[in-house]
A and B are shown apart, each in its own frame.
Chain A
């Protein structure tokens, strides 16, 4: 399959990017730092390690997604490697999807590495393998895939710096949009409220993938949440990729 070929090529290229290893280093550093924090804290020590650990995975994963995704398509256009590719009998959407999948694969590898370090540190403290943590990590991965889709979308028409800013904004909005729910529900019913609700529903809600707190505190979660959140993520990704394909289709490569 042509998409597979491009994905494999993208993976090979992305995995060589030194930025990834720099971020991996910082992630490892912060995981080790969590051990230090554990000594200073008031309360259950392991919990802070789990919390900081999951937060690091989430944060550095997002950074990797943004930094790599925004450069990916732009680099091909800038270095003109894209010319020979697109003159071959492949569709533009195949190119884009291949790039996305290659990047997702790269991030999967990176996240797995970080998770391994994380779980090892937790194991050192509890002498148990904590399987529920893997659930939290899985949803962190879905969140990262979504951020990657955004980054690639912006990278189709914008420079890396602007794309990074936009993607970062997406990330921040995604984590703060839950705060709009309360004020909107208190609004007076009317056209403005309906418009506000539509905007609110459209805005990304990355907190849907945030099960860190429940899992660390062993709080119960209704199983529906897992299914719906994952579906939400997948459809949002499809939406963004479709949008990227539309933008990319008619783009002139001067």
Chain B
């Protein structure tokens, strides 16, 4: 698969404070995004996610480093034509209606008139806003703004789409819808670069992941490789047995209303717990094996710094 975004050794500092002190935000960021994948870019607040993104998009100028999009210099018009961007907490011109808004952006992308007329209703349908086509943006809810922002990012049919916290502030239904749209984009052959805090969503849809902490990439690779499928431990909810019996087998996490939650690490110990319950005529309410999640990995990485 071709590498369509290549970032090499990106450095950026800002001058902060009244007596300007140089603060280094990006300390040598390198990453590669291949065509057709959904790339997750995560990190704690202030790590440099948005800064990286803005460097790629030409909103900020890095001190050092190289960025190439589709093998073009990232600031060239050719590169920009293939790129779409949805910023975090988007804000748009209040007084325009959804349709007028998309028309304006169409004009900036040099689409032909006919294409424009078809594209706009199509996009509105895609993001689920066809009923609000003539509503002024000032009356849009947060979720609606996210969607129209997504529509704007897709307006000129870009091949590489940058989304900065696209699921922020959405209700679970909204998040599902956007997730579905992103997956659909992948199916259409597009590449998505996703910055997010919400690790569960990243886990659900991303192929590749890079973790940035304190201006440096601390881990990078395919999601599968990063999270082993090894089962970490099993959580068993049971009742009706004497907790003392469980002492060496598992860890009692909590015990409320007659139900006890036990954490069992070894697979063999699970058998033993089931055995004890059976013998003491107790009841097993649930048995859930827990694999390593992205969150665990994430917290680990952050703690290491």
Query: A–B direct touch, CB within 8 Å, in complex?
Result: yes
- Chain A positions within 8 Å of B, measured between CB atoms, are 2, 4-6, 9, 12-13, 16, 79-81, 83-91, 250, 252-254
- Chain B positions within 8 Å of A, measured between CB atoms, are 14, 54, 57-61, 77-78, 80-81, 83, 85-87, 89-93, 95-96, 104-105, 107-110, 149, 152-153, 156, 162
Smallest CB gap from A91: residue in B: B77
Q: A87 with B57: in contact, given A2-B108, A9-B93, A13-B95 (CB under 8 Å)?
A: yes
Q: Which residues of B contact A9 (CB under 8 A)?
A: 93, 104
Smallest CB gap from A79: residue in B: B91
Tell me if A87 and B83 are in contact (CB < 8 A).
Answer: yes
Tell me if A90 and B108 are in contact (CB < 8 A).
Answer: yes
Tell which of B59, B77, B80 has the most Cβ of chain A within 10 Å: B59
In whole Å, how far is B105's beta carbon from the nearest beta carbon of chain A? Answer: 7
In whole Å, how far is B294's beta carbon from the nearest beta carbon of chain A? Answer: 28
Of the candidates A2, A6, A86, which one forms a contact with B110 in the assembled complex, judged by CB atoms under 8 Å apart? A2
Q: Which residues of B contact A91 (CB under 8 A)?
A: 77
Q: Which residues of B contact A87 (CB under 8 A)?
A: 57-59, 80, 83, 85, 162
Tell me if A86 and B92 are in contact (CB < 8 A).
Answer: no
List 24 A–B pairs whose Cβ atoms lie within 8 Å, in order of A's numbering: A2-B107, A2-B110, A9-B93, A16-B95, A80-B89, A81-B91, A81-B92, A84-B85, A84-B87, A84-B105, A84-B149, A84-B153, A85-B108, A86-B59, A87-B57, A87-B162, A88-B105, A88-B156, A89-B77, A89-B80, A89-B108, A89-B109, A252-B59, A253-B59
Q: Which residues of A contact B109 (CB under 8 A)?
A: 88-89
Given contacts A12-B95, A87-B59, A89-B81, 14 further A-B contacts (CB under 8 A): A2-B108, A2-B110, A13-B93, A83-B57, A83-B59, A83-B85, A84-B153, A87-B85, A88-B108, A89-B156, A90-B80, A250-B61, A252-B61, A254-B14
Q: A83 with B87: in contact, given A5-B108, A88-B108, A88-B109 (CB under 8 Å)?
A: yes
> Complex: how many Å from CA A79 to CA B149?
14
Q: Which residues of A contact B110 (CB under 8 A)?
A: 2, 89
Q: Which residues of A contact B108 (CB under 8 A)?
A: 2, 5-6, 85, 88-90
Q: Which residues of B contact A88 (CB under 8 A)?
A: 80, 105, 108-109, 156
Q: Which residues of B contact A13 (CB under 8 A)?
A: 93, 95
Tell me if B95 and A252 are in contact (CB < 8 A).
Answer: no
In whole Å, how far is B233's beta carbon from the nearest beta carbon of chain A? Answer: 44
> Complex: how many Å from CA A58 to CA B15?
41
Q: Which residues of A contact B80 (CB under 8 A)?
A: 87-90
In whole Å, how far is B139's beta carbon from the nearest beta carbon of chain A? Answer: 15
State the main secondary structure of chain B at its contact with A: mixed
Tell me if B77 and A81 are in contact (CB < 8 A).
Answer: no
> Complex: how many Å from CA A9 to CA B60?
25
> Complex: how many Å from CA A5 to CA B107?
6
Q: Give 10 closest A-B pairs by Cβ, nearest first.
A: A5-B107, A89-B80, A87-B85, A253-B59, A89-B77, A89-B81, A83-B87, A87-B57, A252-B60, A88-B108
In whole Å, how far is A99's beta carbon from the nearest beta carbon of chain B? Answer: 13
Q: Which residues of A contact B90 (CB under 8 A)?
A: 80, 84
Tell me if B91 and A253 are in contact (CB < 8 A).
Answer: no
Q: A81 with B93: in contact, given A5-B107, A88-B105 (CB under 8 Å)?
A: yes
Smallest CB gap from A9: residue in B: B104
> Complex: how many Å from CA A81 to CA B96?
13
> Complex: how many Å from CA A81 to CA B58?
15
In whole Å, how far is A29's beta carbon from the nearest beta carbon of chain B? Answer: 28
> Complex: how many Å from CA A5 to CA B58?
21
Q: Which residues of B contact A254 (CB under 8 A)?
A: 14, 54, 60
Smallest CB gap from B14: residue in A: A254
Q: Which residues of A contact B105 (CB under 8 A)?
A: 84, 88
Q: Which residues of A contact B152 (CB under 8 A)?
A: 84
Q: Which residues of A contact B77 (CB under 8 A)?
A: 89-91
Smallest CB gap from A85: residue in B: B108
Smallest CB gap from B81: residue in A: A89
In whole Å, how far is B17's beta carbon from the nearest beta carbon of chain A? Answer: 14
Q: Which residues of A contact B95 (CB under 8 A)?
A: 12-13, 16
> Complex: how many Å from CA A252 to CA B63?
11
Q: Which residues of A contact B91 (CB under 8 A)?
A: 79-81
In whole Å, how far is B61's beta carbon from the nearest beta carbon of chain A? Answer: 6
Q: Which residues of B contact A16 (CB under 8 A)?
A: 95
In whole Å, how far is B201's beta carbon from the nearest beta carbon of chain A? Answer: 22
In whole Å, how far is A194's beta carbon from the nearest beta carbon of chain B? Answer: 37
Smallest CB gap from B12: residue in A: A252
Q: Which residues of A contact B83 (CB under 8 A)?
A: 87
> Complex: how many Å from CA A91 to CA B110?
13
> Complex: how many Å from CA A84 to CA B78?
17
> Complex: how many Å from CA A57 to CA B57?
44
In whole Å, how far is B192's beta carbon from the nearest beta carbon of chain A? Answer: 15
Q: Which residues of B contact A84 (CB under 8 A)?
A: 85-87, 90, 92, 105, 149, 152-153
> Complex: how many Å from CA A13 to CA B101?
12
In whole Å, how far is B179's beta carbon from the nearest beta carbon of chain A? Answer: 22
